[in-house]
Structure 1
């Protein structure tokens, strides 16, 4: 019985650490993908400079 109490107490105390370990790779992947998308957008805008200017007659 005391083993279960120790295991449950340890799980509750380490819950914040586990959350940090799990969410860190997700944050890194998000920031990396965000940078790649911004870079691709910049390259496309440089290749097609008038691509977003729609002039109405």
Structure 2
């Protein structure tokens, strides 16, 4: 009920998102390389492996 009331007040909007574009998939599923890169970009994550010390 609260969500319906808040939506009617304009507190938030709902937008359709295709199943293949769900951001949560990056937290719940194995992803292809391309989907992983898309997830990483969507979450504003950066590859920092070049900053880590190399293992001996």
TM-score (norm 1): 0.23
Structure with greater contact order relative to length (CA < 8 Å, sep ≥ 6): 2
Q: Which of the two has greater helix per residue?
A: 1
TM-score (norm 2): 0.24
